[in-house]
Amino acid sequence: MTIKIAQISCGTEYSGIQSEIENAAATVGGKMVYPDVSYEEITRAVDDFGFDPVSPQLKLMIARAKALADGHYDADAVFIASCFRCAEGALVRNEVRRYLQEHARLPVVTYSFTERLKAAQLLTRMEALVTIVAKKELLARERQVGLTAGIDSGSSTTKAMILRDNEIIGKSWTPTGEVIGSAQEVLDEALEEAGVKFNDLEGIGVTGYGRFLIGRKLDANLIQEELTTNSKGAVWLADRQRGEATIIDIGGMDNKAITVRDGIPDNFTMGGICAGASGRFLEMVSKRLRVEITELGALADKGDWSKVNMNSYCSVFGIQDLVTSLAAGHTIEDVAAAACHSVAEQVYEQQLQEIDVRRPIIQVGGTSLISGLVTAVGEMVGSEPIVPENSQYIGAAGGALLSSGFLEGQ
């Protein structure tokens, strides 16, 4: 089955990235389609929509969104994109996305691009869109059955978790080195803790950057991108499988903000351009402050970020500001708080503006163990996030949960 992804965009062709978009969709079994509208329909759509942008292509975006919402055009998912730094485009992109979420039950992803498109990130987004449509039944799974393992091969750490009959019986993590070696190591440790053998496993689910490599090596029955897998893992760990929620996953290298309805993502954004919005930033700060990363959160909780002047989110210049403020007599607690605030603020500016935040907020990923960052995110969004136990294992938990979906009926 080919998944039809409707493209609603401005500037992709003249940015030289249209073929990349089409290739990414084709790689994951999707096909980009373009809702057809007439001159008269564009005029009417813009009137009805009540937003009249000057640029014609943006009007066309509105008309195409309306054609989808009104059911005049058939598609399975929507990809909304416009040029990075275009104000008019950003306004329309967001309003069209809101409109579609209200009027059409289709998974949506928004994207602002430059000519330097990150192909891997685009692929993950497309894969997630296709997964949401194609594996709808699998994603509806709320209970793990049998004995399964999940492996999350992240850019900073690799995690494994063993589940049996919906209970965690083993888990382990290690900093990511050689991809397969790291995965094997954590899997062996988790198996040992669980007291089971590799051959006893009835299913393996793999996610994260190294998923294809590891998945092939271990003959996994589920190889899936981290957006949908992590969402399932997060709502399972937080026991919030029903209703709405927003998952904020700030990882070692990138971050994700995902809105879910009954555990299934309907909108998501991914960062990954700037280390300043990732766990790597906090890791670097810890090193400069000569404290363990595990201590940073507690220090931050005692500090006041507003006392420290940071002029940049950058992991070079921003951290220099922090070091300078230490020299100027600020406490290490204030500096740690300022570092957490900086990451939270950038995630808020870059990711959370592209989705409509729904409560509760579930904060996950390795950085959710840094309490100062959770506090900072909570202040930013005006609601204290839920941090489930084992919140750094969402990918592994999601992998183990979903891979068990293939067992029943066997």
Partner 1 sequence: MIMIAPTSELTPDQLARFIHSLGYEISIKETCYGANIEGDKDLIAKAVPKIRGLDPNRLFIKVRAYPIGDERRCRAHHGSRPGFNQLEKEWMDLPFIEAGLCAVESGEECPEKPKRKRLSVEKLIQIAEEENI
Partner 2 sequence: MKIFIMPPNSLILYDLVERFGHQPLSVMGTLRERVSGREMESPPLNVTPADVTKGLKYAGIEVPSGIRGRMAVWGPMIDEAEAAIIMHDTPFTFGCVGCHRTNLLLMHLIRKKKIPTIEVNYPEDEEEGKIMVSKIKTFLEGLK
The CA distances from residue 244 to 104, 261, 266, 359, in Å, are 17, 5, 10, 7
Q: From 28-36, 100-108, 165-173, 184-192, give the range in contact with partner 1 by CB under 8 A.
A: 28-36
The yes or no reply on residue 120 touching partner 2 (CB under 8 A) is no
Considering only residues 5, 21, 28, 33, which one is a binding residue for partner 1 as defined by CB under 8 A?
33
Considering only residues 9, 25, 46, 64, which one is a binding residue for partner 1 as defined by CB under 8 A?
64
Q: Which is nearer to partner 2, 22 or 189 (CB)?
A: 22
Residues 195-228: b if buried by 16+ CB within 10 A, e if exposed? ebeeeebbbbbbbbbbbeebbeebebbbbbbbbb
Considering only residues 32, 42, 238, 310, which one is a binding residue for partner 2 as defined by CB under 8 A?
42
Could you tell me if 164 and 132 are in contact, meaning their C-beta atoms sit under 8 angstroms apart? no
Q: Which amino acid is at 101?
A: Q
DSSP bridge pairs for 352: none
The yes or no reply on residue 75 touching partner 1 (CB under 8 A) is no
The yes or no reply on residue 51 touching partner 2 (CB under 8 A) is no
CA distance 279 to 76: 34
Q: From 30-38, 148-156, 254-262, 288-296, give the range in contact with partner 1 by CB under 8 A.
A: 30-38
The yes or no reply on residue 10 touching partner 2 (CB under 8 A) is yes
Q: From 52-60, 81-89, 99-107, 124-132, give the range in contact with partner 1 by CB under 8 A.
A: 52-60
Strand runs (DSSP E) across 34-84, as ranges?
A: 77-83
First to last CA, the chain: 23
The yes or no reply on residue 50 touching partner 2 (CB under 8 A) is no
The yes or no reply on residue 190 touching partner 1 (CB under 8 A) is no
CA distance 251 to 97: 25
Taking the complex as a whole, the smallest distance from the CB of residue 409 to partner 2 amounts, in Å, to: 43
Which positions lie near partner 2, rule CB under 8 A? 10-19, 39, 42, 46, 54-60, 82-86, 88-89, 113-117
